[in-house]
Amino acid sequence: MRKSLLSISVLTLLFAVNNINAQIVGCTDLFISEYVEGTGNNKCLEFFNPTSETIDLQFYQLQRWSNGEAGMTDETQLYGTLAPLTTWVLVNGQTEDVDLGGGAMSPACDPALQLLADQLDNPYPAPTYFNGNDALVLVKLDTIVIDIFGKPGEDPGIAWTNDAANGFTDVGDGAAWLTSNHTLRRKYEVVQGVTIPPVVFDTFLEYDTLVVNTWDGLGSHSCLCGTSGIHNIIQEPSTNVYPNPTVNGVFTIESGVSIMKIEVYSPEGRIVLEQFPSSDMRNWQVACEDWDAGIYFVNMIYVSGTTFAHRIVIR
Q: Which residues contact 214 (CB under 8 A, 6 or more apart)?
A: 36, 183
pTM: 0.70
Q: Given this model, what pLDDT does residue 268 score? A: 67
Q: Given this model, what pLDDT does residue 298 score? A: 84
Is-contact 125 131, C-beta < 8 A?
no
Q: Given this structure, which CATH class describes domain 8-227?
A: mainly beta
Q: Given this model, what pLDDT does residue 15 score? A: 45
Q: Given this structure, which CATH class describes domain 240-314?
A: mainly beta
CB-count burial class (<10 Å; 0-12, 13-18, 19+) for 173: exposed
Q: Given this model, what pLDDT does residue 120 score? A: 92
Is-contact 126 44, C-beta < 8 A?
no
107 upstream amide cis, omega within 30 of 0: no
Q: Given this model, what pLDDT does residue 301 score? A: 76
| Element of type H or E holding 112 | helix 111-114
Q: Given this model, what pLDDT does residue 150 score? A: 98
pLDDT per residue rounded down to tens, the chain (315 residues): 444 434 444 354 344 434 433 333 689 999 999 999 999 999 999 999 999 999 999 999 999 999 989 899 999 999 988 989 999 999 999 988 988 889 899 999 999 999 899 999 999 999 999 999 999 999 999 999 999 999 999 999 999 999 999 999 999 888 999 999 999 999 999 999 999 999 999 999 999 999 999 999 999 999 999 987 543 344 445 678 888 888 899 999 888 778 888 888 887 667 899 888 876 667 888 999 999 888 787 877 777 666 676 778 888
Pairing of β 60-65 and β 222-223: unpaired
Distance CA 29, CA 147 (A): 9
| Domain definitions of the chain by residue range | 8-227, 240-314
